[in-house]
Structure 1
Amino acid sequence: MAVEQASMADNSVRKPSDVQQVKLFRIYNHYRLVVSLMLMGLLFLDPANFDTRFRLLDYYQAGVAGYLGLNTFIAFTILAGFKPSQRHITLSILLDILVMHWLLFTSTGITNGLANLVIVSVAAGNILTPSRLGTFYAALAAICSLSISSWAVLTLGESGDDIVRAGSLGILYFATAFALQYISRRMMRSEALASSRAQSIAELEQINQQIIQRMRTGILVLDRYGQIRLVNAAAEELLFGAPSDDPVRLGAARILPQPLKLGLESWIKDPTRRIEPFQPFQTSPVLQANFTQLDQNRGDQILVFIEDMSKVTQQAQQMKLASLGRLTAGIAHEIRNPLGAISHAAQLMEESPHLDQGDHQMLDIIRRHSRRVNGIVENVLDLSRRRAAHTDLTEVRPWLEEFRADYLQTQDEESAQSIIDLTVDSDVPFARFDKSQIEQVMVNLCDNGLRYSHQQTGERKISLHAGATVDGERAYVEVRDVGPGIAPEHHSSVFEPFFTTDKSGTGLGLYLARELCEANQAHLSLVEDDLSGCCFRITFAHPGRLI
């Protein structure tokens, strides 16, 4: 098997490609056509002296005319698109050698300058077919030359120098054949090696492109002016929300998001500076960009790595929980115990018969604020007790339908008239999350939506909507109410801890909801649009990403 593979490899090296062989044969046929035209022209140059110099003039003229006709015919067939095979090339070389010796035989013999053209034919044969067949061309040419010289010496009484000259020509034929075979083999090996390396480089480039395209880290190549030269699918998704048909090339049509462009400008001024995390659009996750120069000397192109901060944020949340766990132990003892004493004292004072109306109002204030402080403590304790996310790959539609049914069943009599409209787009991808934690977020959003809808319209109504992001690879769920909405100046503060516009609220609901989403590498955002009410969107991580 090894011998067969070696033989096949050697044959692949020795044989030029079909395209190259056709090109070389076309060039050689042009040469033959020019030679035949020159020979035909010489017939009319000095026809008076041909009888004394040529042995068989009529046969010589017939040979020249036939050679011209043959080469003209081959030229027209190649021009018409005919691609000669190896058999046609071999036959053409053999005919050239025989025709040239026929012209030598019918003219002045081996001393004629046409003998030099035989060398060209042998050389062309060894270039077009650098194999043992090239040696056969040299042997045929040498035999023909020796035969013509021997016939002239024996029949016409020519000098024996013709045989010596024929032998010298034979040696020259073989030397030409061996030299060109060696050179051709070296060239073919070099070409095969170059072709193999080019193919390896092309395959490696293709593999690199596939790796880059499948990476979840965004990669961009920019110039100093922020023009995109190269971008992978992850960067398209993170920065623009949807990949192009050909992200590697068509990304140049994209405009760099303003936060990233400003970060690039500041990094160019100070390469040691690290830009702040940013969001390219409203519902995107928080991203971090890192810059480096591709060419340290010129610095024309800049490589940018775009990382989704969800994983980093998740790790930060785990560290935050560990710190909160230690803090809440003191909170439970230092705050809840005094708070319990205050609440108990207020209850005892309320039983006194000597209280007037103002005293009852003061006790009501104490009870309400005690409950609010207790709610804050409970929320903080719940946050510190939260376990790590245990995610499952979940189909969104059945899960959302089940959640809606369970949520409506848990409503009390006062809230029994709650209306929750549910719409799910087709082809919503799977999502990976911890059901108990995301359902806790959904309960918080639904409670808020129903409450504010009731305050605005007197009707407890919200709508749930599930769909896919623009790239079609990530799922999202929206909760929209018909309430008064959130004032534009408060949009940047709704997820901050202890921020609330409700006097009875603790200001931790949305903060805890975003914390739970980030623990699942999901992103909770406020959707800013022209519709009435308020809309919150949970955008889940790519289902292929392990949490």
Structure 2
Amino acid sequence: MPFPSPLPPEFGAASAQERLWRSLYFYATYRLLLGGVFLFLLYPFSNELWLGGNDSPLFFWTSLSYFFIALVGLVVVRAQLPSFTWLLASMVGVDIVCIALLADASGGISSGLSVLMLVSLAAAGLVSRGRTTLLYAALASIAVLLQQAHSVLTRGVAPELFMQVGLLCVAYFAVTWLALLLAKFATQSEQLALSRGVELSNMAEANRLLIQDLPDGVLVVNEHGVVRQSNPSASRLLEIEIDSSSEWALTELSPLLADLYAMWRTEPHPTHTTLNVPGQPSPLGVRFLPVQREGFWGAVIVLEDTRRIQEQAQQFKLAALGRLTASIAHEVRNPLSSISYAAELLREEKRTESRNRMLQLILSNVARLNHMVNDIMQLNRRDRLHQESFDLHAQLPGLTNEIIQPTGLPKKTLKLTLDGALPVCFDRGHLEQILWNLCGNALRHCRQQPGSVTLRGWCENGHTTLEVSDDGSGIPPEAVPHLFEPFFTTEASGTGLGLYISRELCEANGARLEYRPTETGGASFRISFGGTNEQ
């Protein structure tokens, strides 16, 4: 459901020109109808209407000529062939000459036909929108005065009728000037409307770009529950591909969300609620924002990823915790070194079996604490990036050999499958640490058979993806929401920082690490290299 695109710069000029030609087409149609009316009324009603009373042949030939000239003018206007200004001038000039001849053939000013020039002058003023229309009024006045003078000299018409002719000439100028004012007002209104239209279109484009990049899902729904607009986050959160080229009913996207919308329509308060979407580990926050100014039009439905909000809150907490743990780790490391050194000295002295057990216990716990300190120190190094572009084909084979060698397992236990070129832009050290954590966990929990752990990479639509999966017993469902929390572990000997640090390093490099359960019951972790990672 895309937003309207912004108007091009030439839209205003093109639309104004089209409106001028359309107005001229209506004027040409009026002239053709007027000529047809003259021909139709000439013989049946000529006596009653005094048409052609002074000179019937002149009236007939002038009407016939005017009709055919108007017909040709209509065809030319449809084709938009000559210059607009010259075409309008020729049409108004023909009207002035023909109407003056028709009025002279029907009795002059007393026939009333000279009033028809008011229509032509008004049309010219509205269409041309220039002061040249006053020239047309002057020409019409001259034509009427000449026609009246001819009637006085040749037919003995009373000179007193010049007063009526003078008033008609004043009316010509008054109507022309009024048409110019109306045309000027219409032009200003059109320019204002066009300006507002461009502003609204640009605002709509800005809103579209803003909504498209929002991490929260946005659905614009009308009063009938039809989705008018949406963004990619809504498709991701609802786990359905929304086709922007067609309209979707809210019931088709999510029946549960449609029910919440119907309930909110009947009782608009509260506007905040939650929605459980199958496949999502946590419920979605739903907000309904009514769109109404003059009656209810619809609503904007905002889908909030509560997991992301929780992660942000956790990030703030961990930022403060990271500063604290960094200082604690620095203080703990020195005593650990002293304890380790002292234990090594004790091992060199004469010792009994019980002392050996105590020394081994000290050394194992020192190693565990030292490992935890190293993990904590890594938290403060996530922003020290040294990104470089490389292909995973050149990095992974040697790295997998290094990972499996300390375990003592056969190399066939870890299966490497790479499809095509896999370009990424990543910190090599960070990638190695991430894969050490993921593959190390998979090797410890798999069945330790050939192919038990699979490291697979592929590239689709320019996005490289790397997946580590195993055939173990999987992760308990109750532990899934806490997988990436710091210090959460299901092993007694684990620190609970491996997965958390791996995800932090992925995000620092613009990638995303997520857990995906497998159909066989094992665990699968996927690294999606998106956006800036492809060069």
> TM-score, normalized by length of structure 2?
0.75
User: What is the CA–CA distance in structure 2 between the aligned matches of 1:21 and 1:238, rounded to whole Å?
Assistant: 49
Number of residues of Structure 1 aligned to a counterpart in Structure 2: 506
In the alignment, structure 1 residue 321 sits paired with structure 2 residue 322:
yes
CA distance change for structure 1 residues 77 and 385 in 2, over 3 Å: closer, same or farther? closer
2:377 equivalent in structure 1: 385
Note if contact 1:221-1:304 (Cα within 8 Å) is conserved in structure 2: yes
Asked if the contact 1:466/1:478 (under 8 Å) is kept, the reply is: yes
| 1:121 shift after superposition | 1.8
Equivalent position of 1:173 in the other structure: 172
Aligned-residue RMSD, C-alpha? 4.9
Q: 2:79 aligns with which of 61, 65, 82?
A: 82
Displacement, 1:326?
4.9
| Residue 527 of structure 2 is aligned to residue 538 of structure 1 | yes
For the residue of structure 2 that corresponds to 1:528, the secondary structure is coil
In the alignment, is the contact (CA less than 8 A) between 2:52 and 2:58 conserved in 1? Answer: no
User: Using a 3 Å threshold, how does the CA distance of structure 1 residues 49 and 315 change in structure 2: closer, same or farther?
Assistant: closer
Contact 1:55-1:107 at 8 Å conserved across structures:
yes
Contact conserved, 1:100 with 1:117, CA < 8 A, in 2? yes
Q: Report the Cα offset of residue 451 of structure 1.
A: 4.1
Q: Secondary structure at the match of 1:465?
A: strand
Does 1:514 pair with 2:500?
yes
Tell me the CA shift for residue 524 of structure 1. 3.7
The residue identity in structure 2 corresponding to 1:464 is: L
The residue type equivalent to 1:506 in the other structure is: S
Report the CA distance shift for 1:544/1:379 in structure 2 as closer, same or farther (over 3 A).
same
Alignment partner of 1:424 out of 409, 418, 422: 418
Native 8 Å contact 2:463 2:528 kept in 1: yes
CA distance in 1, matches of 2:448, 2:260: 41
Q: CA deviation at 1:147?
A: 0.8
**Is there any run of 5+ residues in structure 1 with no aligned partner, and where?**
1-11, 353-358
Higher mean C-alpha deviation, range 108-117 or range 414-423:
414-423
Q: State how 1:352-391 maps to structure 2 within 5 Å.
A: 373-386=365-378, 387-389=380-382, 390-391=384-385
Range with bigger deviation, 405-414 or 58-67? 405-414
The answer as to whether partners of 1:130 and 1:185 remain within 8 angstroms in 2 is yes
**Residue of structure 2 equivalent to 1:97:** 96
Tell me the distance in 2 between the aligned counterparts of 1:238 and 1:82: 52
Corresponding residue for residue 153 of structure 2:
154
Question: Quick one: which amino acid aligns to residue 503 of structure 2?
Answer: C
- Alignment-derived partner of residue 163 in structure 1: 162
Give the 5 Å matches for 1:250-261: 255=253
Give the distance between the partners of 2:340 and 2:145, measured in 1 at CA: 125
How many Å apart are 1:452 and its aligned residue?
Answer: 4.2
Shift of 1:536: 2.1
The offset of 1:29, in angstroms, is 3.4
Distance 1:464 1:70, change over 3 A: same
- Would you say the 8 A contact 2:484–2:503 is kept in 1? no
Deviations 1:122-169 (A, max 9, x none): 222222222233122111111111111112222333211233322222
Give the secondary structure class of the aligned counterpart of 1:380. helix
Any gaps of 5 or more consecutive residues in structure 2?
1-11
**Secondary structure, aligned partner of 1:111:** helix
The aligned counterpart of 2:219 is 221
8 Å contact kept, 1:257–1:280:
no
Judging changes above 3 Å, is the alpha-carbon distance between structure 1 residues 440 and 315 closer, same or farther for their aligned structure 2 residues? farther
Is the aligned partner of 1:136 residue 2:135? yes
Distance 1:48 1:258 in 2: 81
Task: Answer with 16-25 or 118-127: which moved more.
Answer: 16-25
Alpha-carbon shift at residue 105 of structure 1 (Å) = 1.9
Change (3 A) 1:438 1:260: farther
- Contact 1:293-1:302 within 8 A present in 2 as well: yes
Using the TM superposition, name which of 477-486 and 293-302 deviates more.
293-302
**8 Å CA contact retained: 1:63, 1:99:** yes
Q: Give me the whole-angstrom Cα distance separating, in 1, the residues matched to 2:261 and 2:500.
A: 26
Which amino acid in the other structure matches residue 507 of structure 1? G
1:168-223 per-residue CA deviation (whole Å, 9 max, x = no partner) reads 2222212221221122112112212221221232123223323433x353351355
Distance 2:269 2:166 in 1: 80
- Counterpart AA for 2:490: T
Structure-2 change in CA distance of 1:118 and 1:217 (3 Å)? same
- Answering whether residue 465 of structure 2 is matched by residue 476 of structure 1, we say yes
Measure, in 1, the Cα distance between the counterparts of 2:63 and 2:406: 115
TM-score by length of 1: 0.74
- Of the structure 1 ranges 415-424 and 331-340, higher mean CA displacement relative to structure 2 is found in 331-340
For residues 94-493 of structure 1, the aligned pairs below 5 Å read 94-213=93-212, 215=213, 217-221=215-219, 229-233=228-232, 235-236=233-234, 238-239=236-237, 246=244, 255=253, 270=270, 281=279, 291=287, 293-295=289-291, 300-304=298-302, 306=304, 308=308, 313-328=314-329, 351=352, 373-386=365-378, 387-389=380-382, 390-395=384-389, 397-398=391-392, 401-409=394-402, 412=405, 415=408, 417-419=410-412, 420-426=414-420, 428=422, 430-432=424-426, 434-453=427-446, 455-457=447-449, 459=450, 462-467=453-458, 472=461, 475-483=464-472, 485-486=474-475, 491=480
Distance in 1, Cα, partners of 2:402 & 2:153: 123
- Determine whether 1:500 maps to 2:490: yes
* Aligned mates of 2:270, 2:520 — CA distance in 1: 43
Distance in 2, matches of 1:341 and 1:268, equals 71
Q: Provide closer, same or farther for how the CA distance between residues 221 and 131 of structure 1 changes in structure 2, counting only shifts above 3 A.
A: same
